[in-house]
Each structure stands twice: as C-alpha cells, then as structure tokens.
Amino acid sequence: MVSESIVAGVVATLATDLWARLLHAVAGRAPANWGLVGRWVACMPRGVFVHRPINTTPAVHREVAIGWIFHYAVGIIYAALYLVIMRLGFGSGPTLISAVAFALILLVAPWFVMQPALGLGFMASRAPKPAVARAVSISVHAWFGFGLYFGAWLAGA
C-alpha cells in the first residue's frame, strides 16, 4: 500500500500543480507560493505556528524546497488516508466520486488551518479577493480528486 500511496499522491499533487499552471496561463492567477508554505513549516520547530501575515516573517534558508517537499508529502499522506478509508472503511477500491468528494472534504485543512496560520484568515477571508481564492481552492482540490483517482488506478489500487 505504500507504493500505491506514493504513486496516487504524486499523481494527484501533480494534477493540482498542472491545474494551477493552466489557471495562471489562462486567467493570470498566480500559482501557490510554496516558498511561503516552506517558511511556515520551517518556523514550526521554533514554536511559531501563526503569522500575521507570513510574507512579513523573514525568509528561511531553502524555504522553497521545504515548501515543495511539504506539498508533495501532504499529497502522499492524503492519498494513503484515502486508500485506507476506501479499503478498510468501505471495503472497496477507489471511485471517481469518492476521490473527488474526499479531496473536497480536505478543504478543511487549508481553509481552517493553513490559511489562518499564514495570516489569510479563515477561508482566505483576508486575501485580496476572498471569493476568488475560495473558488481556486475548490477547483484545485477537485483536480486533486481527479488525480487521486487516476493515480490510484495507475498504481493498481
């Protein structure tokens, strides 16, 4: 199940990154800044979990690499959780509907943990365009679900 989780998680996360690049190319919407997420993660061992906002916190050595590694690690962990739920909880394999539903449920993490911790408020309420930020989050997570299903299928899960 480890290799299936890695494949499914990487494919799902890659799907979100490709979707974000397409949004940037078509609509001019900048993709996520994983360097700022890396800064957030790098500050955690020092006991700093909340920033007001994160871009006012001094840069951290290798924050971009830390952010990208964290991004893909979370994708793999989410894929593992999804596969465990499907196998042990439902006794079935992945389905497209369950994968997309699972990915949308995962919006709890950015909306109620990460965005507030980065100084963006709950559900990006302090972002320059909160409704746009929410819509992008929903679309990115939906694409994570599509990628999760496809990745699980590729891995033979």
Helix H, strand E, coil C: the string for 21-81 is: HHHHHHHCCCCCCHHHHHHHHHHHHHCCCCCCCHHHCCCCCCHHHHHHHHHHHHHHHHHHH
- CA atoms of 31 and 122, how far apart (whole Å): 19
pLDDT of amino acid 30: 87
Dist CA 72 CA 138 (whole Å): 18
Residue 116 phi/psi, 5-degree rounding, is -60, -40
pLDDT digits (tens, 9 = 90+) for 41-91: 999 999 999 998 999 999 999 999 999 999 999 999 999 999 999 999 888
The residue type of 81 is L
Query: CA-CA distance, 142 to 66, in Å (whole number)?
Result: 24
Reported pTM:
0.93
pLDDT class of 135 with cuts at 50, 70, 90: very high
